[in-house]
Structure 1
Amino acid sequence: MTTQSLFFWKNWLKEYRTVWLGLGVVFIFSIVFLWFSWFKGADGILHWNKLQEQKMLETTVHSFRLGPFSLNVPAESYVIFEYLDGSDIVPNTTASYIFLAILVVCAIVILTVITTMERFWFFVGMGLFILFLVSLRLEVLGLFGHHHRIPVIAALVLYVVPAFYFNRVRASWSFTTRLLLFGGITALIAGCVALFAAVNYPFYHLTLTGYTPGMILTVLFIILIAHEVMASFVYITSRGGTKSLRHLSIISVIYLANILITCFHEMGVIDWNILYINLYLLFTVSAVLGVWGFRRREILYANIFPYHPFGGYFFLALGAIAFATMGQLLGNANDPALKVIRDAIIFAHTGYGIIFLTYLFSNYVLMLARDLPVFNVLYQPTRMPYFTYRFAGTIAVLGFVFYSNWHEYVFHSMGGFYNAAGDMHTLLGNGDFAESFYEQSRTQAFQNNRANYALGRLKASRFNFDDAHQFYAQANRRRPTPYSLTNAGNIYLWEGSPSGAVENFTENLKTHGSMGPLENNLGYAYSKLHNVDSALRYLDRARGHNQTRVTAETNFFAMAATENLPLKTDSILQLFGNTTPAVLSNALALSSLQQQPLKTDVSPLPATRLDLYSATLLNNYIVKYATTVDTTFIARANQIADDSLNSDFREALKASLAFAFYHRGNVSKALEILAEQTYLSQSYQGKFNYVMGLWALEQHNPDLASSFFTFAGTYDYKDARFYNAIALTEARRLPEALAAWDTVSRKEDLKEKLIATQMKKILTVSFAEVLTLSDPDKYQFCRYRVGLGDSLAFNHLVNSFANVNFKAQALLDFSQRYFEADHTVPAIRLFNRIAGLELTDKKLYNDVAHFELLMLAYRKETRGLANQINKGITFDESQSLEKMLYTALVAESNGDLNTAEKQYAVLSHYNPYFEEGIIASADFYRTNSKDSFKAYTILSEAIQINGNSIRLLKAYIAEALKKGFDEFAADANQRLVVAEQAAR
């Protein structure tokens, strides 16, 4: 083919060439639209919803020792499991509007071409155009409030009168003028539709009414071009080469064999595991070849219109409509209608292809044998007329249609229409009407994916899982999508049957091959069955798909945390290379659970409002680093938690922030937060009281701890009764402690039963018997049975210790008890006895050194305090307030009141259990504050929380008397008497 024949339009008049190029752009755009929709597939109307299941994991924030007991303070980290679920159908309005625009534009071009025809063909063409216009049913739009035929009649008049005028009166008017006039009329009607239609989405109504003419014109165009590939073989093999007949025979047989195999596959006769012809590619190639092939056929239709230019316009316009129709159906995944289109393509190419080969051999076999250019006379037959070929081809196509049950194509066409109607009512928000149309589509086109999927989603949303199973099974029977396959298994998960989900997902993977959503959800289902190996295998496969990589890695860490798999979190994070919030939050939970360091940089503070991922990340970060986060971070995180936009996550974040406040020494704020959460939450009152009880024990207030554990015990929360027994024992409320330990001894936990038995023995053994016991037992007897008034018994018992560390610990405990009771002299005396002991327990050595600093600070011996600190005593995060106190005292003694005031401002309210800091702050503000009630306020607020502290009560009584609050002082004095009696 020469360049001149390839670009034949270059010789046309400029006016004709301009219209041709414009239509060519529309034609090419329609092809691109089809393939874009094909590549998108069901993604055009569906998307993946990521559904999350959040699980709570208890991790240990920190541990502390209390006498013989090692206590763990728990907090909650959260892990997110995630699985994919196909969304509700969202009609692809963009695809529908593109189809409507191309349909209307090309219809106007065809109408303009009709006006150039001779009388008979003009009336035939106008009759078809009128039928097309009526089929659009403009009356349903309610133009100007009218739902009758007047808008249709008006539109007919607007188009028919100018068409008749052009054809019979002004035949000399140019094609461009006619096209512009019809375009103007169309624009006018479109404007009226947009402005004066009584229905919502009026143009979408037109896409629905345009369904039928679009389908009919598409099938006609498929038939028109069905033999173009075979015709191209004639051109290729008869261009003057040799052995044309042999080459044509070989290439035609190979082509028709593949066409037949694909045809039988589409008919369901065979199902071989081979690569079949892509029918849309076959159609596209045929249509493009038809641009030149239709020109070669001009001799067949020249009596209607010439190819130059009107035949060319007609072909491009009809082709664009066909491509746009297919693109719209693909874009909306309307599979029953596509079934009709696909079978039309393959049946037409098979039937017409076979008969066209007969047509060739009947007419041109001798020319082919002589290597003559058959292509030039391809449509000038000598034996078998072209009409005979068309007639026989039509019979062959009908044979395929009738073999496949022709009723099915009528029903599938109706099913496609009802799907489109259901989409329209979905868009309008008419759920009942949409359901009704989808039900009709399912009835007409049995087992069509589109309608059954929509109904499956609908039934699942109503928790009608039995019907949902049936609809998804029907949706997946013939033309499944990843969405319908995945949702079918998800129903089992929602029913609480992960084993059913595993069976369903596994079967679908075997049948349809690897799919990321299926593999991820299968791994998730296996994790619910605690089948770790299978879960890991499928999650790893899901990581291989970009679509599910993040979700699979999220699930990997979630399962590792819930199953407590011994993994190196940092190494796996580096391997994954994934720092999304979901993955990081689960990795933080795993590292917290296993007490692993995490070197990966984490930025948990979101720039915008929280979602589930960022909230979980922030929570898990706080829990992991509760002992080390700084006050700036805490303040920002607290501000985020208080934001009304984040109210859904406030409770969990606040509870975790309480730990951060606690470990920054702000015990008051921590207790305030948990007390508030206890008041607001009915579900977690046991948990919050349990944590506050542990904090009270660590702050050496066992009476308060007992009240917290008692409340937690009413909710039967964890080991609340066990810890209450410890608290009562630490408070030396022996009768109550014995009863509590007796309750613990009846529990099933063997470890707690053994401890209860031991404690009951310690609380009931006589002094004479204890001398024969081991050092640990003697130590416990000293701690819980020997009062401050039993100094002789204590000395006798301490001297019997064989282990130096136990002896030092007993001396330290007793000295601290004297100190807390404000008996400084005996406290110092006992403390000095430790000095001669060679301790091997490093922690005990540090405790002794820090207690000495406290006593020096309490007596304000700043010189000795500074000397001891300079000997290399270290402070950890839990001793930050002590360090502040010593800094403040030294600064105050040096006259640096600004530095001192900064420290005292924190010490005055952070921790009421840190009595030395409270009292020192009150002393400072008494002499250095313009507010004469500042010291009183500090002390009064402290005893509201730590109301049984002897030293705080004494300091408060003295301050209250100075201010003239005699009644308050008297009330505090009564509390002091009770506290002193308890201390003995």
Structure 2
Amino acid sequence: MISNVQFWRIWPNSLKIALGIFLFIIIALAGLTTFWVLNDIDNFYAWDIATELHKKFIASEAFVEKGLRFTNNELIYYLKEWYLPSADNINSNPSLVLVSALILGLSLITTSLSFQNNLWFLGSLILVAAFLILARTEIIFQATNNTPFLIAFASLGLTFFAFNSFLKRTGFWLRFLCISAVFIGLLFTAISYSKIDFPIVSLGSYSLLFALLCLAIFVFLIAHEIVVGLIYTVVASSEKGKNAFKTYLGIGLIYLLNCLLIYLENIRLIDDSLMVISPLLLFAASSVLGIWGFRKQCDDIGFFSFQRTGAWLYFGMFIISLATIGYVYATANDPLIELINDYIAIAHLSLGIVFFGHVILNFIGVFQKGLNAYLVLYKPKFSSLILAKILAVFIMGFFLIQKNIYAYNQLRAGLNSAIADFYLAEGDNTAAETYYKESINYDFFNHKANYALASMARKVGDGVTAAYFFRQAIQKNPSEFAYVGLSQNLENEDLYFDALFTLREGLAKFPKSAVLKTNSAHLLEKANVRDSVFLYLETALQDCKSCNTEKVNLQAFWIENAIPSKLDSVSNKLINASNGSNLANQLAIGRMTGNLKSQLKSLPVETSLNTTQFAEIYNQISLPENKLNKADSIWDTYANNPANIGVREDLLYLKILQLYGQGEKIKALKQLTYLAQDSTETALMYRRKLGLWYLKEGLYDRSVAFFAASGDRGSAQVLEENNFKTHLQLKQFQQAEELLQMELNQDTYKKLYREAPFNPYLLSDISNYLTENGKVSEAYTLVFDALEFNDTNIELWKKYAFLALKNGVPDYAENGVQKLKGLMTKEDYAAFLKSFNLEKTRLEREREAF
């Protein structure tokens, strides 16, 4: 078998290149198939993440004033996540790979057979006809006749006939490229003129039966190759002339025993064991060894040349077989996965037994004499090998009928599920449901069809039907997806304990499932069982792969339960700033601890915010050190978007925080006062925020009023007991002195005003500057706005009265004078009134003179 390993060394360069290209394709396809096999059910199903928004009120330090520490009552938003099973994900990539492999494989097979006589040529025509018939090409064009089949068959048939009859001297490459071009041309024509949305999925689904037949023939062809390899190994390791029969007998029996164990495990007569390898490994080994084995058969038996025909025939079947295995795993078609694994195990066991016996009957003398039995392995009359293969067919039949016609039922179930996938992709749910139900009729507990029907029922709100099919899906081939789907469905029906027990049943099957542990923690939170919640969350983090959801949930757990001083130490290992939910929770933790690890780099451009984006924005903008800002119009767009209606008030609050931070304090205070009118807990927080802002701005009366309105009468009382009114007046005076160290000019007065828009001493100087520069109206507006919030300040009312006179509104000035009458002592009022009347008289004379 391995003699002359580098058999291609004597080939022409053109065939060496072809061999290298197709071997590369086979290796790449084997890699993709391996990926799909290892990914198993995750190829077809995916997890959706449900995100839940939670809020918590926290106390954070605001500022220290007169030795007293004032705190904010603030709100943080944090997130919890859990898993939801997705609906069937009909991906066209597996179909594309299968159809491409069929075209490439058939091109190689028909090219190789075109070198042979008319009998083989007829065989290639029958092969292509079978492919076109089973592929149901008329569905692509929604035709009611066989015209698509006839056109395709005529095009391919004429091409084959030309090479077989008139162009016999044509080399491999030209034949292959011409035949491939016809196949590809037909495919692109079908795609271009298709009347369905997914023609490739249609071809993949309907041609699956043909691909399975090719796989079955290929596996039967190579199933004895491991025994051949054992013969070569025994011969190569034995001394010449020494009896090697016992060695062959021992190693052969060990191999057959392993094949038997693989078969018994596959049909579930024995438990799964790491000691028993997968049937797919037998397929991989046999198919690789078969390259040299099939060459030896071609050379020894002489049916046809391996160089001209055998190699390309073998590679064509190899490519189709690999793509078929990859397809059934990529589409999570568990009836066909079981059938293929059973068939491979049975074929290797049956052919292994027969070929092992065939070698003993025909070559026992050769082994005993110490001669090289491998060299003459296919030399006896071919009839004896044919008889052995026929016997193998009967043995395989015996194994396959041990479960009555279950193998046939699995085939029908898998094919119906594949066709249902096509109709589901097309959006024809009625046809898809029909085929899925037909699949269940043949294999009652097959996971694929039951899960698909459960997902379809869940989508239309039929919880009872969904629960029934989810329950069916976990009977034979359970999956985490089916357990979570069933649990979610039971939870939606308010069957809390049934949902929890379903997840625990799933954990018994999948003890390392981070998904089931995460969802169990989510359910247990409703019962407030903190110890169990933490246990599930912690072990889920240990068993997870990407771990984004698990980290988010542990962050949320510590936000709810940890002492703030300990939060940093327990949450450091959970940071993943690239994940939005994780960053939102980390921002919440940073606001609680004052130790911020990472910040949001930019605000989202979308106006429809999802839960994660909102939590990120809220926690970011609420930070004292926030540097991200949006234009007012953007905040209004956020707030007015119907998608954000549930968090509209919070978005307006963030806009207010930004306004205050940018110096638009009057606008911010007005808008926050509007939000604080409700009687909700959040409105109480807004009132306390107003109390703190007014205190910071030196507005004592307003601060006390809003502290009391927020329910914090203690703070209001503290302000009174510590004579804060006098303290704030003094502070405003000092603040004005510090700010006015900067010269008042056109560039600085606005900046100074934004710093302290309610400071009467500063406003007095700014209004004087504006008046001197002919901006009486602007000066009047600044003082008027300040009086709206500080209507008991004598200095502001004095300035207002004089500015009203200068602005030409004497009635307003008189109102100011009347206000001062109630605020000032008689002596002070008399002195003010005198100066006011003098100014009034002067202005009247100026107007008369003008």
Q: TM-score, normalised by structure 2?
A: 0.85
**Match in the other structure for 2:847:** none
Q: Which residue of 2 aligns with 1:906?
A: 754
> Could you say which residue in structure 1 is the equivalent of 2:841?
none
Measure, in 1, the Cα distance between the counterparts of 2:17 and 2:276.
40
Q: Do the aligned partners of 1:73 and 1:694 also contact (CA within 8 Å) in 2?
A: no
2: CA distance, partners of 1:301 / 1:484: 52
Structure 1 counterpart of 2:737, from 872, 882, 886: 886
CA shift for structure 1 position 166 = 3.9
Q: Secondary structure at the match of 2:48?
A: strand
Q: Name 2:835's counterpart in structure 1.
A: none
Partner in structure 2 of residue 30 of structure 1: 29
Counterpart AA for 2:782: I
The residue aligned with 1:800 is none
Partner of 1:342: 341
Matches within 5 A, 1:368-379: 368-379=367-378
- Residue 34 of structure 1 aligns with an amino acid whose one-letter code is T
Letter in 1 for 2:309: F
* Deviation, structure 1 residue 381: 4.4
- What is the DSSP-based 3-state SS (H/G/I as helix, E as strand, rest coil) of the residue aligned with 2:775? coil
The 1:598/1:689 distance shift into structure 2, 3 A limit, reads closer
For residues 524-673 of structure 1, the aligned pairs below 5 Å read: 524-545=522-543, 547-565=545-563, 568-576=566-574, 578-580=576-578, 581-593=580-592, 596-598=593-595, 600-606=597-603, 612-623=611-622, 625-626=623-624, 629=625, 633=627, 635-636=629-630, 641=635, 648=644, 651-656=649-654, 658-659=656-657, 662=660, 667-673=665-671
Shift of 1:52: 0.8
Give the Cα–Cα distance (whole angstroms) in 2 for the partners of residues 500 and 139 of structure 1. Answer: 48
Query: What is the CA-CA distance between 1:272 and the residue it aligns to?
Result: 4.2
Q: Report the alpha carbon displacement of residue 920 of structure 1 after superposing the two structures with TM.
A: 4.5
Rate the CA distance shift 1:621–1:196 in 2: closer, same or farther, 3 A. closer
Q: Using a 3 Å threshold, how does the CA distance of structure 1 residues 316 and 636 change in structure 2: closer, same or farther?
A: same
User: Would the aligned equivalents of 2:503 and 2:520 in 1 still touch at CA under 8 Å?
Assistant: yes
Give the AA of the match of 2:788: Q
Change (3 A) 1:191 1:577: closer
CA distances 1:344-363 after superposition (whole Å, capped 9, x unpaired): 11111122222222222222
Question: Would the aligned equivalents of 2:691 and 2:704 in 1 still touch at CA under 8 Å?
Answer: no
Q: Superposition pairs for residues 319-718 of structure 1, below 5 Å?
A: 319-381=318-380, 385-406=384-405, 408-492=406-490, 494-495=492-493, 499-545=497-543, 547-565=545-563, 568-576=566-574, 578-580=576-578, 581-593=580-592, 596-598=593-595, 600-606=597-603, 612-623=611-622, 625-626=623-624, 629=625, 633=627, 635-636=629-630, 641=635, 648=644, 651-656=649-654, 658-659=656-657, 662=660, 667-674=665-672, 686=683, 690-691=687-688, 694=691, 698=695
Q: Is the 8 A contact 1:921 1:935 kept in 2?
A: yes
Residue type at the aligned position of 2:325: M
Q: Whole-Å Cα distance in 2 between the matches of residues 949 and 495 of structure 1?
A: 63
Q: Identify the residue that residue 49 of structure 2 maps to in structure 1.
A: 50
- Residue 937 (structure 1) aligns with: 781
Quickly say closer, same or farther: Cα 1:288–1:721, change in 2 above 3 A: closer
Percentage identity across paired residues of the two chains: 21
Counterpart of 2:289 in structure 1 is: 289
- CA distance 1:518–1:367, shift in 2 (3 Å): same
Provide the residue aligned with 1:280 in structure 2. Answer: 280
Over 3 Å counting, the alpha-carbon distance change for 1:267 and 1:943 in structure 2 is same
CA contact (8 A) 2:672 2:690 kept: no
- Aligned pairs for 1:906-925 within 5 A: 906-907=754-755, 911-912=757-758, 914-925=759-770
The match for 2:316 is 317
Q: CA deviation at 1:377?
A: 2.1
1:178 match: 175
- Once the two structures are superposed, the pairs formed by residues 184-263 of structure 1 within 5 Å of their partners are 184-239=181-236, 240-241=238-239, 242=242, 244-263=244-263
Tell me how far apart the structure 2 counterparts of residues 976 and 249 of structure 1 sit (CA, whole Å).
Answer: 119
| CA displacement at 1:289 relative to structure 2 | 0.8
Aligned partner of 2:284: which letter? T
Measure the CA separation in 2 of the matches of 1:706 and 1:456.
61
User: Residues 546-579 of structure 1: CA distance to partner in whole angstroms, max 9, x if unpaired?
Assistant: 6342322211111111234456233334444543
Residues in 1 aligned to 2:698 and 2:738: alpha-carbon distance in whole angstroms:
24
Residue 493 to residue 2, structure 1, CA distance change in 2 (3 Å): closer
Q: Given that residues 490 and 499 in structure 2 are in contact (C-alpha distance below 8 angstroms), is that contact kept between their aligned partners in structure 1?
A: yes
Distance 2:378 2:69 in 1: 99
SS in 2 for 1:238: helix
Q: Which residue of 1 aligns with 2:831?
A: none
After superposition, give the CA deviation of every residue in 1:131-167 in whole Å (9 maximum; x if it has no partner): 222222222222xx85422222122222223433443
Aligned partners of 2:184, 2:615: CA distance in 1, in Å?
54
Partner of 1:89: 88
CA contact (8 A) 2:300 2:378 kept: yes
Cα distance in structure 2, aligned partners of 1:666 and 1:586: 29
- Superimposed CA distance per residue, residues 633-659 of structure 1 (whole angstroms, 9 cap, x where no aligned partner): 264586864565995476434414534
The aligned residue for residue 810 of structure 2 is 966
Structure 1: where are the runs of 5+ without partners? 710-718, 731-775, 784-805, 820-846, 858-864, 866-882
> 1:15 and 1:601 mapped to 2: Cα distance?
60
**Cα deviation digits, residues 112-136 of structure 1 (max 9, x gap):** 3333333344434433332222222
SS class of match (2:101): helix
Q: Secondary structure at the match of 1:57?
A: strand
- Structure 1 equivalent of residue 302 of structure 2: 302
Q: 1:469 to 1:947 in 2, by over 3 A?
A: farther
Match of 1:271 in 2: 271
Amino acid paired to 2:280: Y
In structure 2, C-alpha distance between the alignment counterparts of 1:104 and 1:643, rounded to whole Å: 54
Residues 671 and 692, structure 1, Cα contact 8 Å, conserved in 2: no
SS of the aligned residue for 2:808 comes to coil
Q: Does 1:98 align with 2:101?
A: no
Alignment match, 1:794: none
Tell me how far apart the structure 2 counterparts of residues 533 and 462 of structure 1 sit (CA, whole Å).
37
Q: What are the superposed Cα offsets for residues 51-81 of structure 1, whole Å, 9 maximum, x if unpaired? A: 21110111234569999x9986422200111
Query: 2:573 and 2:507 mapped to 1: Cα distance?
Result: 27
CA distance in 1, matches of 2:710, 2:675: 22
Whole-Å separation in 2 of the counterparts to 1:645 and 1:960: 38
CA deviation string 1:917-963 (max 9, x = no partner) = 44443344333x33121221112222334455555444323322333
Distance 1:220 1:352 in 2: 13
**Take 1:979 and 1:502, find their aligned partners in 2: how far apart are those partners?**
70
> How far did 1:505 drift?
3.0
Amino acid at match of 1:968: Y
Distance 1:496 1:52, change over 3 A: farther
What SS class does the counterpart of residue 509 from structure 1 fall into?
Answer: helix
1:156 is matched with 153
The Cα of 1:429 is off from its aligned counterpart by: 3.2
Question: Matches of 1:678 and 1:463 in 2, distance apart?
Answer: 40
Tell me if structure 2 keeps the 8 A contact 1:26–1:102.
no
TM-score by length of 1: 0.74
TM-superposition CA deviations, 1:501-560 (whole Å, max 9, x none): 543333322322313323333334444433333333332333335634232221111111
Structure number with bigger Rg: 1
